[in-house]
Amino acid sequence: MSTKEAKQMDKALFDFYGKPSIGQALPLAIQHVLAMIVGCVTPSIIVAGVAGISQEDSVILIQAALVMSALTTLLQLFPFIKTKNFRIGSALPVMMGISFAYVPSMQAIASDFDIATILGAQIIGGVVALLVGLNIKRIRKFFPPLITGTVVFSIGLSLYPTAINYMAGGASSKTYGSWQNWVVAIITLIIVTALNHYGKGVWKLASILIGIIAGYIVALFFGMVDFSSVSSAAFFQLPKPMHFGIKFEPSACVAIGILFAINAVQAIGDFSATTTGSMDRMPTDEELTGGIVGYGISNIFCAFFGGLPTATYSQNVGIVSTTKVVSRVVMGLAAAILLAAGLIPKFSSLLTTIPYCVLGGATISVFASITMTGIKLITTEPMDFRNTTVVGLAVAVGMGVTQANASLAQFPEWMTTIFGKSPVVLATIVAIVLNLTLPKAKKKEEK
C-alpha cells in the first residue's frame, strides 16, 4: 500500500461515511464491544431473576438483548428512510444497548406481572418516544438538565439495593449474605475500581468485563459456577418472535411510557455529546428527530422479539469523543460482533452462569456512575433555593414512598404499580410539576 493510500485509510476513520480497512476498524470495534457488552446483558439477567423464568428463557432474553442492540445500532448508523427533511435513524456514530434506566420499573412489573407485560408497556413507550421525536422542539423545554438530572439521579439511587443484594449472593439464594459471596464481590469491585483509575487503553475501557472475568475465576474456586445449562444450549439459534408474548397492563404502560419520554429527551444529550466531541458541531434538527424516531420504532420492533428497552450508550459516546473515530464502518462492525454473539445460545447461556455476587461487585460502580451523572446534570444549573427544592423534594418523595412499602396500601393497585414500586416515575412527575409552578429566582441587576 502506498503512503497516499495509507493516509486516505487513516482519514477514513475520522469521516462518518469513510471506509477504513477491516484491519483498522476491527480493533476499534472490539473496543466498543468490550465497553458495552456487560451493560447490555445485565438488565436482562436482573429482570430474568426477578421474573423467576427458567434457565432456557433467561438465555433467550439475553440472546434477544444482544441481537436487538445490534439491530437498533445499525438502524441509527444506516437510516433506511432518508429524505431532505426526515429520516428514521440519526446517521450519527452511536451505539445502542439495553438500558439500566428502565430496570427499577421493569423489576416492579416483573415481580407483579411478567415479561410479557414489560414488552407490552415497551410498545406503548416506543409510541411515546416516536411522538416525542416528531415534536421534539415543543417538548424539549419541559426537560431542562435540572429535570433530566433529577431523573438520572433517582435511577442510580434506586439501583443500589439491587447491587447490594447481588453482592450478598442474590436475595433468593440459600447462601445469601455468606462471607464467600462478599469476598468474591469485593475482589471484583476492587479490580474494577483499580482498572478504572490506574488502567490505560483497553484495560480501562474493559475494566468491568475484566473485573467480571477475575471474579468469575475466584467464584470457580469456591464452587459457585454451574455449567450444566451451557452443555445443553445450541450452537446457533435465531431469536424467537413472541416467545414471551405481549400483554398490555395500563399501569405498567404509564410507568414505562413516562420513562420513554424522559429517555427520548435524554438521548439529545448523548447525540449532542457525540457531535460536539467528535465533529465539533451540534446535531441538526433532522439528526435529532431521526435519532429519536428511530429509537421509538426500534423499541416497538424489539418488543416482539423479547428485546428489553434500548437507549444510547454514554460510555461509547465517550470513546467516540476521545478517539474522534466516527466511521460508521467501525460502529457497524461492533454491532455485527454483538449480533454474532446473540445468535450463539452457548455464549448467552455462559453469561447466565455468572454468580450474582460477581455481577453485584461489577455493577455497583456502574450504578454509582449513573448517580454521579445525574448530579453533574443537576449542577449545570445554579443550585439556588428554588432548584434545590425541586431536586430535593422530587427525590425525597420518589425514594420515600417506594421505600415505605405500605405507604400506598389503601390506594388502588394500579396506583401502587405506577407510583409505589419505582421511585423514578414519581420523582419525575414531582420534579416537572415543581419546575413549572415554583417561581424562578429574579436575576440580580448588574451595576
Q: What is the 3-state secondary structure (H, E, C) of 237-281?
A: CCCCCCCCCCCCCHHHHHHHHHHHHHHHHHHHHHHHHHHHHHCCC
Residues linked to residue 82 through DSSP beta bridges, in sequence order: 87
**What does the pLDDT read at residue 4?**
52
pLDDT digits (tens), the chain, 447 positions: 445 554 555 678 888 888 888 888 888 888 788 778 877 888 898 899 888 888 888 888 989 999 999 999 999 999 877 766 678 888 899 899 898 888 888 988 998 889 999 999 999 999 999 998 888 777 777 778 888 788 878 878 887 888 888 899 877 778 888 899 999 999 999 998 998 888 877 687 677 778 888 999 999 998 888 777 777 767 888 888 898 999 999 989 988 998 898 888 778 777 877 787 777 787 887 888 899 999 999 999 999 999 999 988 877 777 787 678 888 999 999 999 899 988 888 887 887 788 889 888 887 887 787 788 788 888 888 888 899 999 999 999 888 887 776 777 777 777 776 776 677 778 888 988 999 899 887 655 444
Residue 446 is predicted with a pLDDT of 41
For residue 11, what pLDDT is reported? 79
- The answer to whether residue 5 is domain-embedded is no
Per the structure, the count of domains in the chain is: 1
Strands 96-98 and 310-312: what pairing?
A: antiparallel
Instruction: Give the model's pLDDT for residue 6.
Output: 47
Q: Look at residue 439 and tell me if it is in a domain.
A: no
Domain assignment present for 246: yes
444 occurs within a structural domain: no
Domain that holds residue 302: 15-433
- Residues 6+ positions from 288 with CB-CB distance below 8 Å: 90, 133, 136, 268, 271
User: pLDDT value at position 205?
Assistant: 66
**What one-character-per-residue DSSP string does 177-202 give?**
T-HHHHHHHHHHHHHHHHHHHH--TH
In a domain, 1, yes or no: no
Beta bridge pairs of residue 98: 310
Residue 199's nearest CA partner among 29, 35, 359, 40 is 35
Residue 442 lies in a domain: no
Q: What is the reported pTM?
A: 0.78
Q: Smallest Cα–Cα separation from 218: which of 362, 49, 348, 364?
A: 362
Instruction: Determine, yes or no, domain membership for 440.
Output: no
Contact in structure between 294 and 89 (CB atoms under 8 Å): yes
DSSP 113: S
Beta bridge partners of 310: 98
Gap between the Cα atoms of 131 and 129, Å rounded: 5
At CA 220, angle to CA 232 and CA 178, rounded to 5? 115
What own/partner pairs with CB < 8 Å and gap ≥ 24 does 172-180 have?
A: 172/49, 173/356, 180/222, 180/224, 180/357
Q: Residue 294: what pLDDT?
A: 92
Q: What is the torsion angle, in degrees rounded to the nearest 10, for the CA atoms of residue 66, residue 70, residue 73 and residue 79?
A: -140
In this structure, is residue 446 part of a structural domain?
A: no
